Amino acid sequence: MINHHKFCIAPMMKKTDKHFRFMARQFTKNSMLYTEMIHSNAILKGDADKLLKYHNSEHPVGLQLGGSDPQSLAEAAIIGEDYGYDEINLNVGCPSKKVKSGNFGVFLMKNVKLLSSCINEVKKNIHTPFTIKCRIGVDDFEGEKYLENFLSTISDYGITTFIIHARKAISGLDTKRNRSIPPLNYELVYKMKERFPGLKIIINGGIEEIGDVKKQLEYVDGVMLGRKIYSDPAFLLQIDKEIYGNNSNLEFSKGLQNYMTYILSLENKKDVNRAITHLLQIIRKISNTKEIRRELLNNVKDNSVDLEHIFDCFKEDLTQKVHLQAR
pLDDT values of the chain reduced to their tens digit, one per residue, 327 residues: 899 999 999 999 999 999 999 999 999 999 999 999 999 999 999 999 999 999 999 999 999 999 999 999 999 999 999 999 999 999 999 998 788 777 899 999 999 999 999 999 999 999 999 999 999 999 999 999 999 999 999 999 999 999 999 999 998 777 777 776 789 999 999 999 999 999 999 999 999 999 999 999 999 999 999 999 999 999 999 999 999 998 878 888 888 889 988 998 999 989 988 998 898 888 776 655 667 667 666 665 565 556 777 777 666 666 554 444 334
Q: Are residues 16 and 148 in the same domain?
A: yes
Question: pLDDT at position 324, please?
Answer: 42
Q: Tell which of 242, 271, 286 closes a domain.
A: 242
94 among known catalytic residues? yes
Q: Are residues 95 and 62 in the same domain?
A: yes
Cβ neighbourhood burial of 32 (10 Å; 0-12, 13-18, 19+): buried
Catalytic residue, candidates 94, 118, 134, 313? 94
Supply the pTM of this predicted model.
Answer: 0.91
Which CATH number does the domain housing residue 170 bear?
3.20.20.70
Q: Are residues 201 and 283 in the same domain?
A: no
Question: pLDDT at position 63, please?
Answer: 98
Q: C-alpha 41: how far from its chain's center?
A: 20
Q: Does residue 277 fall inside a structural domain? A: yes
Q: Are residues 75 and 223 in the same domain?
A: yes
**Per-residue b/e over 119-141, b at no fewer than 16 CB within 10 Å?**
bebbbeebebbbbbbbbbbbeeb
Please state, rounded to an integer, the average pLDDT across all residues of the chain: 90
**pLDDT, tens digit (0-9, with 9 covering 90-100), for 31-54:** 999 999 999 999 999 999 999 999
Question: pLDDT at position 327, please?
Answer: 43
**pLDDT, tens digit (0-9, with 9 covering 90-100), for 76-96:** 999 999 999 999 999 999 998
Nearest to 131 by CA among 175, 167, 87: 87
Alpha helices by DSSP H, listed for 70-226, are 70-82, 97-101, 112-125, 144-155, 186-195, 210-216
284 CB-near residues (< 8 Å, 6+ apart)? 293
Angstrom distance (rounded) from CA 316 to CA 313:
5
Q: Are residues 22 and 81 in the same domain?
A: yes
Q: Are residues 265 and 147 in the same domain?
A: no
Q: Does residue 247 fall inside a structural domain? A: no
Bridge partners of residue 34, in order along the sequence: 62
Q: Are residues 158 and 223 in the same domain?
A: yes
Q: Tell which of 242, 269, 294 closes a domain.
A: 242
Angstrom distance (rounded) from CA 174 to CA 252:
36
Query: What is the longest distance spanned by two Cα atoms in the chain?
Result: 60
Q: Does residue 326 fall inside a structural domain? A: no
Range of the domain at 311: 252-321
Reported as type and span, the H/E element at residue 22 is: helix 18-25
CB-CB contact of 244 with 5 (8 Å):
no
Q: Tell which of 209, 242, 275 closes a domain.
A: 242
322 CB-near residues (< 8 Å, 6+ apart)? 252, 253, 286, 287
CB-CB contact of 235 with 211 (8 Å):
no
254 torsion bin: left (phi>0), alpha (psi -120 to 50), beta (else): alpha
Q: Are residues 180 and 220 in the same domain?
A: yes
Q: Are residues 105 and 129 in the same domain?
A: yes
Q: Does residue 205 fall inside a structural domain? A: yes
Q: Are residues 181 and 278 in the same domain?
A: no
Q: Are residues 232 and 286 in the same domain?
A: no
Q: Are residues 162 and 37 in the same domain?
A: yes
Q: Does residue 327 fall inside a structural domain? A: no
State phi, psi for 165 to the nearest 5 degrees: -75, 120
Question: pLDDT at position 97, please?
Answer: 79
Distances (CA, A) of 299 to 291, 302, 308: 13, 5, 11
CB-CB contact of 52 with 63 (8 Å):
yes
Q: Does residue 222 fall inside a structural domain? A: yes
User: How many structural domains comprise the chain?
Assistant: 2
